[in-house]
Amino acid sequence: MKPLRGWMTPTAGLLVLISALGCGQAPDYRDQRLAEFAQKSVNEQVQQNARMSDVLKRDAEYRRELIAAQQSLTKQLNEQQAAIDLNRDRLETDRRELAQQRHRDPIIAAVLQNGCIMMACLLPLLVALLGIWQMHRQEPEHAAVAELLVAELTNPKLLQWPTLTVGRLGSSKASLPEPPNDSDDQSEPPF
């Protein structure tokens, strides 16, 4: 049996070695579960970090959009405020001009009215002066009539206003200026 022995010895040694290795402690499934749990936690943490990163990116984007919208609204509000200020300044200017015009218009109207009345009063004198001037330029007889008209127009009694006198019964009579006395001056012919 020798041949068997030779074969068995290495086989027996191998079996002893396998049994020694295989006879060790049984594997601890708790450590494996703990490792799986840790791996799962790490994976969830990675996913949660990725989601948080996405949320932060979206939040930053929304904040940029919000800031841009706020700046746009602020710009529009400033433009509208500037337009309101400009219109208020124009309105104030128009109000001042209207107040000045309301103050100035009655003065201009009074000046025009008084000027027209004065022109209406001076027009007959101008016509008389023009007639006298024309008479002086023509024949000597007309010049004498012109001098008589000038004397009548410049008579101080003619330029006085009539005075009122009150009688006994309370009636008033206007006293007219007396006609000029031509008896003193016989050198000029009457018309």
Beta strand ranges found along the chain (DSSP E): 163-166, 172-175
Give the separation between CA 40 and CA 24, rounded to whole angstroms.
29
Work out the angle at residue 125's Cα, subtended by the Cα atoms of residues 122 and 131, and round it to the nearest 5 degrees.
145
Give the separation between CA 63 and CA 57, rounded to whole angstroms.
10
Q: Identity (one letter) of the amino acid at 107?
A: I
- pLDDT (mean) for 4-10: 57
Q: How confident is the model at residue 133 (pLDDT cuts 50, 70, 90)?
A: confident
> In 10 A of CB 146, how many CB atoms?
20
Q: What is the separation of C-alpha 142 from the centre of its chain, rounded to a whole number of angstroms?
A: 72
Q: What is the pLDDT of residue 155?
A: 74
The kind and range of the H/E element at 5 are helix 2-22
Q: Which residues pair with 174 in a beta bridge?
A: 164
Work out the angle at residue 118's Cα, subtended by the Cα atoms of residues 112 and 121, and round it to the nearest 5 degrees.
145
Give the separation between CA 158 and CA 23, rounded to whole angstroms.
164
Q: Which of 143-152, 162-171, 182-191 is predicted least confidently? A: 182-191
State pLDDT tens for residues 93-121: 999 999 999 999 899 999 999 999 999 98
